[in-house]
């Protein structure tokens, strides 16, 4: 991939928690190691357990992370949104990719070859600590999700998802939900019927609106209050 095309994403990378604070010339050097991948809907980027040769930064589109239990049951773990890094943890685990990475809609990613990235990182302590911070955030997120699954009602799980993926500073608070209902229900740990019922309640109460993959938050203060009731 032409380096000049990749360089156009320099500012976008700098806004990512993983790369913010990395000197521009260092980030430019890192970009030379990457390549762009254009992915189509339902394409598998990597299978759970595959050796980790790359990790990714999502530029456009959405990616679903799913895993399979020992009993063969499949579970949706996460939706990756533009601006997020994914499969970073597999670079260190030694067990390959922790999840199967499936493209939801046509997407574009920057692929970072792990062996070259590790070599690059060894002499750049700022980047090394950024990676540790990113992995720490992932652990914190997983702990919060486990706690949420134990303590939250189905409605509160749905509210937490919407708040986690909303921009409170935006004038129109919209949340893209590119997953099928069954996948979102799997991710939240509820049945599809329960998910449908709880979403309908939020709409009837005027707290959210919209359809066709986009949910608009009409009263973020009330939703935050409903979610905070869990912890008190």
Q: Count Cα atoms within 13 angstroms, Cβ side, for 25.
A: 0
Task: State how far the alpha carbon of 20 is from the alpha carbons of 40, 89, 142, 170, 172, in Å.
Answer: 29, 19, 23, 22, 27
Q: Which residues contact 132 (CB under 8 A, 6 or more apart)?
A: none
- What contacts 24+ positions apart, CB below 8 Å, involve 5-12? 5/36, 6/31, 6/32, 6/34, 6/36, 6/110, 7/31, 9/59, 9/110, 12/59, 12/83
Pick the CATH number of 3-149 from 3.40.640.10, 2.60.120.10, 2.30.38.10, 3.40.50.10440: 2.60.120.10
Report in angstroms the alpha-carbon separations of 107 from 41, 65, 82, 110. Answer: 8, 14, 9, 10
Q: How far apart are CA 178 and CA 133, in angstroms?
A: 28
Q: What are the sequence ranges of the domains in the chain? A: 3-149, 152-231
Tell the residue number behind the tokens 């500073």, with chain if given.
169
The pLDDT value recorded for residue 41 is 95
Residue 120 phi, psi dihedral angles, 5° rounding = -65, -40
**Cβ neighbours for 1, distance < 8 A, ≥ 6 positions apart:** 34, 35, 36
For the 152-231 domain, the top CATH level (class) is mainly alpha
Q: What is the pLDDT of residue 157?
A: 94
170: DSSP letter: S
Tokens at residue 98, please? Answer: 């922790």
Q: At what angle do helices 154-164 and 220-228 cross, to 10 degrees?
A: 130
d(CA 213, CA 197) in angstroms, rounded, equals 16
Output the pLDDT for position 51: 94
Identify the pLDDT of residue 232: 45
Per-residue pLDDT of the chain (232 residues; tens, 9 = 90+): 555 566 667 888 888 889 988 888 888 889 989 999 999 999 999 999 999 999 999 999 999 999 988 888 889 999 999 999 999 999 988 889 999 999 999 999 999 999 999 999 988 888 999 999 999 988 888 888 888 888 899 999 999 999 998 876 666 788 989 988 999 999 999 999 999 999 999 999 999 998 778 999 999 999 999 988 754 4
pTM of structure: 0.86
Strands 100-113 and 35-39: antiparallel
């Amino acid at each position: 991939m032409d380096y000049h095309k990749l360089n156009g994403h320099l500012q976008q990378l700098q806004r990512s928690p993983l790369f913010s604070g990395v000197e521009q010339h260092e980030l430019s050097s890192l970009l030379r190691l990457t390549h762009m991948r254009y992915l189509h809907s339902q394409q598998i980027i990597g299978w759970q357990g595959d050796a980790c040769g790359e990790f990714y930064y999502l530029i456009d589109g959405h990616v679903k992370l799913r895993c399979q239990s020992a009993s063969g049951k499949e579970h949706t773990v996460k939706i990756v949104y533009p601006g997020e890094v994914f499969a970073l943890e597999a670079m260190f685990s030694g067990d390959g990719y922790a999840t199967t990475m499936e493209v939801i809609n046509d997407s574009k990613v920057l692929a970072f070859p792990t062996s070259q990235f590790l070599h690059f990182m060894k002499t750049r302590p700022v980047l090394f600590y950024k990676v540790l911070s990113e992995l720490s955030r992932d652990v914190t997120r997983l702990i919060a999700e486990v706690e949420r699954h134990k303590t939250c009602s189905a409605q509160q799980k749905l509210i937490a998802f919407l708040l986690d993926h909303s921009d409170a500073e935006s004038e129109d608070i919209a949340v893209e939900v590119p997953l099928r209902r069954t996948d979102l229900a799997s991710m939240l740990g509820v049945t599809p019927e329960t998910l449908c019922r709880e979403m309908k309640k939020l709409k009837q109460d005027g707290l959210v609106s919209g359809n066709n993959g986009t949910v608009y938050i009409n009263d973020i203060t009330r939703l935050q209050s409903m979610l905070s009731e869990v912890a008190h």
